[in-house]
Structure 1
Amino acid sequence: MNDDQRASLLADIYLLLFLALICTMAVLMALTPNLTLNTLYLGVTVVMILMTYFFGVIVGLMANLAFIFVQAVVMIYLNTTQHAMFSLMMIFWLIMPLLLSVTFYGMTRRLTQLQAANAKLRADMMKRGAFDEQTNLRTTVAYIQDARVFIETNRRFQLPVTTVIIRVRYYNEIRRMMSEQQARDLLRLVSDTITSATRDNDITYSLDQDNPTWAILLFSNQPGAQIAADRIKTNFAKNLQRSTSLNALEILLVVGIASWDADKMQSPYDFMNTGIKETEYDVAR
């Protein structure tokens, strides 16, 4: 049994225990005639369960100990000064809030563990998967797979294969001036611009999110790829001016273009890295 299965099983067990305790408490409340104290203690119990959930088990245990002490003081006071008689069954309030708090905390803790595991799994799947969740573009994994097909086509049919790598000039400096929403808007704007400016048989990829990097694979030579790159830059400048969240920022794209050369390149990684290296020599305009 792995950790996730164990956490799921324990969450189910704690849930069943919590429900069983709720049913037991309801029966005991019905058997004890003191409606006022039952209602008061029930409200305090709910508060302590919430305290355990929001502030942790230590705070919850301290609150329960304090509640036990208060109950003892209340019973002594009422018996000595008011001579009130209470059913012995009222003693269940000494332990029931504590049991409810512990089982509820155990259940929620295991559920939190499962949620964290699911979030990590989702992130890992997106990282290793073929599509980027934020931009809906193919990722580096897909780029390498598709580049092999393009390279093999080049070898067999002598079709020119070129990659265009696109980055945001001085992104790290610009990122410090942007909010999280603006950063997301920028990723979306560049992705949409590239997608709309390329041909149907050109494939667009999102290679990196930390230093946003896009790539295009084309059956084209360098002059043809340069035309596509210039079109992307021109369209991006126009779209940037129309963006209400980004038009106040001076954002430029830099482009690197590399054609497949079997004599100098050994793998799709060489192909991609050559294009990335070429972005350093682009004078953005």
Structure 2
Amino acid sequence: MNNNNDKRLNLMADVYLILFLTAMAAVAVLFGFMPHYVLLNTVYLGIAILSILITYFFGIIPGLIENLIFIFAQAIVMLYLNQTTNHVPLGLAFWLLVPSLLSFIFYGMTTKQQQLQKRNEALRTTLAEQGAFDADTSLRTTVAFLEDAKVFIENNKRFDLPVAMVVFRIRYYNELRRMMTDVQLRELLKNTSKIITSTTRDNDVAYYLDNTTPTWGIILHTDEPGAHIAADRIKNAFSKQLPQSGQLQNMNITLITGISGWDSETMTEPYDLVNKALKETEYDV
């Protein structure tokens, strides 16, 4: 349904744009048919542009009011021309309609475009707030981790199940990044994510926690010694499988890990679990 609405808004914006260009083309043709009134037509065009600007900045009602004033002024000019020359070019009657028409079309075009911009902003906000998966790695994000960790922590409180967090980072990532191409980097992130998810147990949940400094995490129902076993298993699988990648064969890439266990006495929220594990990565040398 939302997709259909977006298509309709795009179509209406395009229609208004075509109508606006058509009206401006008609104005250009009018100039050619009345070479003796170029100055008057130029003044009228300037007033028409002023009407468009008023409509854009202040809304359709002030724009229409300005157009009514303009129509009244045109009537006075036509009466003056009739009195002085006994002839009023029929083409001038075109200006009775054109400014209002241009203002209305321009208002419709900008309104539809603004609606599209608002929908795009709302979509980006929704994806940022509710996005549970990272598009590049297909792993759950920090948003999902915060929700899942609450369940793990509640299980710890109710059933006394141990909870541990394991985080992984690429050793010397900043130095490696300067030597890697974008293709190699994408392959590294993709393969690392694949190795981590394929090596974890079914009841362990993997996440991609940070894209700036690529950080993976796993939350487990186990104690810290059990988490060390899981981390070693993943590191061993990484050291064996990553060199098989065509783009990364000649690069010495290893993982560093940090492990933390949930402590209800010193920890109050999921971030505490992650922050402690990240602190532990500093000692994995």
> Normalised by the shorter chain, which TM-score bucket?
0.5 to 0.7
Mapped partners of 1:121, 1:277: distance in 2:
36
Residue matched to 2:85: none
Mapped partners of 2:182, 2:118: distance in 1:
22
Residue matched to 1:142: 144
C-alpha deviations, 1:127-146, integer Å up to 9, x for none?
43111111111100111111
- Mapping for residues 68-87 of structure 1, pairs under 5 Å: none
Residue matched to 1:72: none
Question: Which blocks of at least 5 consecutive residues in structure 1 are unaligned?
Answer: 29-102
Q: SS at the partner of 1:262?
A: coil
Q: State the Cα distance separating 1:172 from its structure 2 match.
A: 1.1
Residue matched to 2:229: 227
Percent identical pairs in the alignment equals 50
Q: SS at the partner of 1:176?
A: helix
Match of 1:261 among 263, 268, 271: 263
Mapped partners of 1:162, 1:196: distance in 2:
19
For the 8 Å contact 1:163–1:216, the answer to whether it is kept is yes
Mapped partners of 1:124, 1:184: distance in 2:
25
- Mapping for residues 60-99 of structure 1, pairs under 5 Å: none
| 2:205 matches 1:203 | yes
Q: State the Cα distance separating 1:234 from its structure 2 match.
A: 0.8
| 2:174 matches 1:176 | no
Match of 1:152 among 151, 154, 157: 154
Mapped partners of 1:152, 1:116: distance in 2:
39
| 2:123 matches 1:133 | no
Residue matched to 2:217: 215
Mapped partners of 1:125, 1:235: distance in 2:
36
Task: Spell out structure 1 runs of 4+ moving beyond 2 A.
Answer: 7-12, 15-22, 113-118, 120-128
Q: State the Cα distance separating 1:222 from its structure 2 match.
A: 1.1
Mapped partners of 2:272, 2:262: distance in 1:
9
Mapped partners of 1:151, 1:209: distance in 2:
25
Q: 1:126–1:189: structure 2 CA closer, same or farther, 3 Å change rule?
A: farther
Q: What is the TM-score when the length of structure 2 is the normalising length?
A: 0.61
Aligned length: 198
Mapped partners of 1:126, 1:187: distance in 2:
21
Residue matched to 1:192: 194
| 2:15 matches 1:12 | yes
Q: State the Cα distance separating 1:21 from its structure 2 match.
A: 8.7
Mapped partners of 2:158, 2:266: distance in 1:
18
Q: CA RMSD in A?
A: 3.3
Q: 1:154–1:241: structure 2 CA closer, same or farther, 3 Å change rule?
A: same
Question: Which blocks of at least 5 consecutive residues in structure 2 are unaligned?
Answer: 1-5, 30-104
The residue identity in structure 2 corresponding to 1:184 is R
For the 8 Å contact 1:126–1:132, the answer to whether it is kept is no
Q: State the Cα distance separating 1:183 from its structure 2 match.
A: 0.9
Mapped partners of 2:165, 2:146: distance in 1:
12
Residue matched to 1:282: 284
Q: State the Cα distance separating 1:240 from its structure 2 match.
A: 1.4
C-alpha deviations, 1:54-77, integer Å up to 9, x for none?
xxxxxxxxxxxxxxxxxxxxxxxx
Q: State the Cα distance separating 1:10 from its structure 2 match.
A: 4.4
Mapped partners of 1:142, 1:205: distance in 2:
8
Q: 1:117–1:279: structure 2 CA closer, same or farther, 3 Å change rule?
A: farther
Q: 1:168–1:121: structure 2 CA closer, same or farther, 3 Å change rule?
A: farther
